[in-house]
Homo-oligomer: A and B are copies of this chain.
Amino acid sequence: MSAKIANILFIGDVVGNSGLQMVSRMLKGFISKYEVDFVICNGENAHNGKGMSLEALNLMLEAGVDVVTGGNHTWNNFNFFETLKTHDRVLRPQNYPKGTYGKGHGVYKLPRGLGNITVLNLQGRTFMYPIDCPFRTADWVIKQTKEQSSLVVVDFHAEATAEKLALAWYLDGRVSAVIGTHTHVQTADERIFPKGTAYLSDVGMTGPYQSVIGMQVKSAVDRMLYQTPHKYECATDDVHFAAVLLKLDVETSKSVGIERIFYPEFETTVPQG
């Protein structure tokens, strides 16, 4: 591998203990296999499916994660706010309004003399909360961090495909990658935009797939059928690891490769007797 290429592994929303265990068990192997230099991991659902905890954060860091990003569920566990305020390896979306706990981007050192990388966590607004504009927030962070690092990877935690694609076009050539999270379903649209920004609409969930995006099937179906509250219960079975590997050219700050990872693969054929 070229000395000028940074290999970044980006892991999608880790859900609950089964997701955390999957990360603990598998990550070192992936790091070794893909010669990974830096690991970003969305952890907004690590604490029993809803929010974050110091314990979950430590588990991920020990497993080999370098920085944990967040999303709308970051705020579910009030006990995590102290950590969120002070820990430099955990982010929440930058475009939450001023006065919110925590920080939304960080500049981190890469190994092998590859320089620094900026990780920027943003959140969408379509079908979500009316927080600050993610487009303008990105402009501001790019300007702020430019001198420390021109490699920028964005975790865009958003629901609507239109908003994700609009941000990717808006940032094409100005950040190294725009990677979507939040829907818990991996998309198949990985590509490199014309000016060098790698893009994937959603990395998907690292967690239990005998579920509705991580939630026990019965409660999730009942919520739809009756439109009344049904207790959230985190699912546990059929755990998969969802991630994307980015290859960033440190000289140009552009992406030169993007590859989806989903392990183990789903069954797509049924053996016939």
- Residues of A participating in the B interface, judged by any CB pair closer than 8 Å: 2, 75-76, 96-100, 125-127, 129-133, 135-136, 159-163, 165-167, 169-170, 183-192, 196, 201-202, 204, 211-213, 215, 217, 220-221, 223-229, 247, 249, 254-260, 262, 266-270, 272
Residues A201 and B185 in contact in the complex (CB < 8 Å), given A130-B131, A192-B267: yes
22 contacts between A and B (CB under 8 A): A96-B226, A97-B136, A100-B226, A100-B228, A130-B133, A132-B132, A136-B225, A161-B183, A166-B217, A166-B223, A169-B212, A169-B220, A188-B204, A188-B262, A191-B267, A192-B266, A192-B268, A249-B272, A254-B270, A256-B269, A256-B272, A257-B268
Chain B residues contacting A229 (CB-CB under 8 Å) are: 75-76
Q: Is the CB of B220 within 8 A of A166?
A: yes
Residues A99 and B269 in contact in the complex (CB < 8 Å), given A125-B130, A185-B201: no
Please give me the residue from chain B that is nearest to A76 by CB atom.
B229
Q: Is the CB of A96 within 8 A of B187?
A: no
Alpha-carbon separation in the docked complex, A269 to B254 (Å): 11
Alpha-carbon separation in the docked complex, A195 to B191 (Å): 34
Q: Is the CB of A196 within 8 A of B227?
A: no
From A75, A212, A229, residue with most partner B Cβ within 10 Å:
A212
